[in-house]
Structure formats: C-alpha cells, structure tokens
C-alpha cells in the first residue's frame, strides 16, 4: 500500500469508522479454540496461576532490564483504552493546536521530557500513576533494576566494558529500539482513526490498529509484529497462534482490517512525516472522529 495518497484518495481508503456489523463474539467464534491456549506472563495467560505468571515474568524481564510490572499495568490500560483520544496512554496523538506549543517548548528543552519518560518507563514513578495495590510491585521492580545494574557493573570490572557492551549492551539497545519502532507503527497510520469520548467504544478503538510487514523481524518475533489487530481483539492469544487467528477473522473484519506491506523503514519515515497531529474532517462531518494530518 502506498501511503502517498491525495486527500480524496485517503478518505476513500480509510478504515471504516462506523459501528462494525459484527461483534467480538462473532470474531471469537471464527477462531479455532486451540489458538487461545497459552501466551505470555504480562497478560496472565502463561499459566492458570497469576502469581506464577508474575514470578516467571518478573524474573526473566529483570535480567533484560525490562520494566515488567510498570509495563504490565500501563499496557493493560492501553488495551482497554486503545484509540481513545482522551484516555489512551501508549500512543497519544497531538491535536493541531498542541503542535506549535510542543515544538516551541519541548524540542528546545528536551531534558525534562526525557527525564519524565525515563522515570515512568524504567522506575514506574511517580507512584500515583499506579493503584495502591500495585505500588509494592513497582518498588520491587526498582530494586531488581538497581540490582541488575550493580551486577552489570561488576561484570564490567571483571570482563571489561567492551565485552559487556558487545554481549549485553548492543543486543539490549537493538531490542528496545525495535520494540519502540514496532509499537509506534502498529498505532500510527494516516488511514486509521482516533475517537473522542462522544464516539469511542472498545471494539472500534481496538480496530484502530494496523498490521504491517516487518520482513525478517516477523519471523524473529514469532509473528508478534504483524498480527497486532488480532492481539488487541484477543490479548490472550499467544503470538505463535496469532497469524492463524488473523487469517480466521479477516473475512469477518473486511474493510475494518488494515494491512500495510510497505517496508518498515519506509513506513517509519512516512509515519513520522505524515502523522504529525490528528483533527476532525473539515465540513462538520463525522464529529468525534479524528485522522492524522501534517498540514501545519
């Protein structure tokens, strides 16, 4: 799919923003039952025991300096608010009126913004962002994070910085960078809408995602990258069954399913260039439904 479309062509190619003619139950019936067996710890579908999921997930993620508990809770909120202009937390688009202010104040002073992003992503602070019954786990992750940093420091003293950077640092930066790019592209496309509180509902919000072609990464990440629509509809489907589930629901989804086979590096450039802010269409049609634009 070529994203370089004229205004009229873009409107014709958009994902439908009207209420779908199918229900979540209809989609679930179309998916083979075995596709729902097992998943990963953060969605509490690794085992039948939540405590076991958290122990395994917390331990393995801590070795990777990945914020298991902060991500688990913020990701859950992302799943229940996807596509909401007011309540979305992961992929939050700007309104046109916000762009000049952010360009003026944040691009010229990036340090405060970087500090806030780092604190929330790595340490889960400020703690009021999380519920009281979650804060102990957030602090527990902070302790594990510091312990892992201490361990890496000891490893540097034993093996040298270059060795640790090659064995751990390089793969870590590649993984985190890839996760960030993939997550950004899964929710950013000029033909996929956002909704304000007057129009948003969970099903349409969950359909405001897009599957893309990530080349070899689709195989490396077991199809977790190119089956994001199915993942948002049914978060407990394991990634190794997500492709089968996607194929099963595509006939029902019809025009509500969007796949872009543009190479991911071109998709990234197009998204950065074209998806600057969201706004309603001119003329008063489809109030409460917002689309990406770049005309400042």
- Would you state the pLDDT for residue 32? 96
Between CA 189 and CA 209 the distance in angstroms is 8
Question: What percent helix, strand, coil does the chain show, rounded to 5?
Answer: 60, 5, 35
pLDDT(203) > 70: yes
Judged by average pLDDT, the poorest of 39-43, 188-192, 264-268 is 39-43
Where is pLDDT greater, at 141 or 33? 33
3-state SS assignment for residue 191: coil
Average pLDDT of every residue of the chain:
83
Give the max Cα distance, the chain. Answer: 67
Q: What is the arithmetic mean of pLDDT over 16-28?
A: 96
Burial per residue of 114-130, b for 16 or more beta-carbon CB atoms within 10 angstroms, e otherwise: eeeeeebeebbbeeebb
pLDDT, tens digit (0-9, with 9 covering 90-100), for 84-128: 999 887 778 888 888 776 555 554 454 554 555 455 555 445 445
pLDDT, tens digit (0-9, with 9 covering 90-100), for 71-83: 888 888 889 999 9
Where is pLDDT greater, at 125 or 207? 207
CB-count exposure of residue 237 (10 Å: 0-12, 13-18, 19+)? buried
In the chain, the DSSP E strands lie at: 194-195, 211-212, 259-260, 277-279, 289-293
- Would you state the pLDDT for residue 105? 57
- Would you state the pLDDT for residue 108? 46
Report the DSSP pairing between strands 289-293 and 194-195. antiparallel
pLDDT(68) > 90: no
**pLDDT band of 253, cuts 50, 70, 90:** very high
Residue length of the chain: 296
3-state SS assignment for residue 96: helix
Q: What is the arithmetic mean of pLDDT over 156-179?
A: 92
Q: What is the arithmetic mean of pLDDT over 244-267?
A: 94
């Amino acid at each position: 799919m070529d994203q370089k479309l004229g205004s009229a062509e873009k409107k014709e190619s958009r994902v439908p923003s009207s209420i779908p003619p199918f229900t979540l139950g209809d989609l679930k019936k179309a998916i083979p039952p075995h596709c729902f067996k097992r998943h990963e710890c953060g969605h509490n579908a690794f085992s039948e025991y939540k405590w076991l999921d958290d122990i395994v997930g917390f331990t393995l993620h801590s070795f990777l300096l990945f914020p298991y508990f902060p991500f688990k809770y913020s990701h859950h909120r992302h799943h229940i608010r996807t596509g909401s202009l007011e309540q979305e937390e992961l992929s939050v688009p700007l309104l046109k009126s916000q762009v000049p202010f952010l360009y003026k104040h944040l691009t010229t002073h990036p340090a405060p913004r970087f500090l806030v992003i780092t604190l929330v992503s790595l340490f889960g602070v400020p703690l009021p962002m999380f519920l009281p019954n979650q804060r102990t786990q957030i602090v527990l992750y902070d302790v594990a994070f510091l312990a892992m940093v201490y361990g890496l420091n000891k490893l540097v003293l034993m093996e040298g910085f270059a060795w640790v950077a090659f064995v751990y640092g390089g793969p870590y930066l590649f993984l985190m960078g890839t996760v960030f790019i993939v997550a950004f592209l899964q929710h950013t496309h000029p033909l996929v809408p956002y909704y304000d509180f007057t129009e948003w509902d969970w099903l349409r919000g969950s359909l405001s995602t897009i599957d893309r072609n990530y080349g070899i990464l689709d195989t490396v990440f077991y199809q977790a990258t190119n089956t994001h629509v199915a993942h948002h509809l049914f978060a407990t489907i394991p990634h190794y069954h997500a492709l089968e589930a996607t194929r099963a629901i595509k006939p029902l989804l019809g025009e509500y399913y969007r796949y872009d086979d543009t190479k991911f590096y071109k998709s990234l450039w197009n998204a950065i260039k074209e998806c600057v802010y969201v706004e309603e269409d001119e003329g008063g049609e489809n109030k409460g439904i917002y689309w990406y634009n770049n005309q400042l």
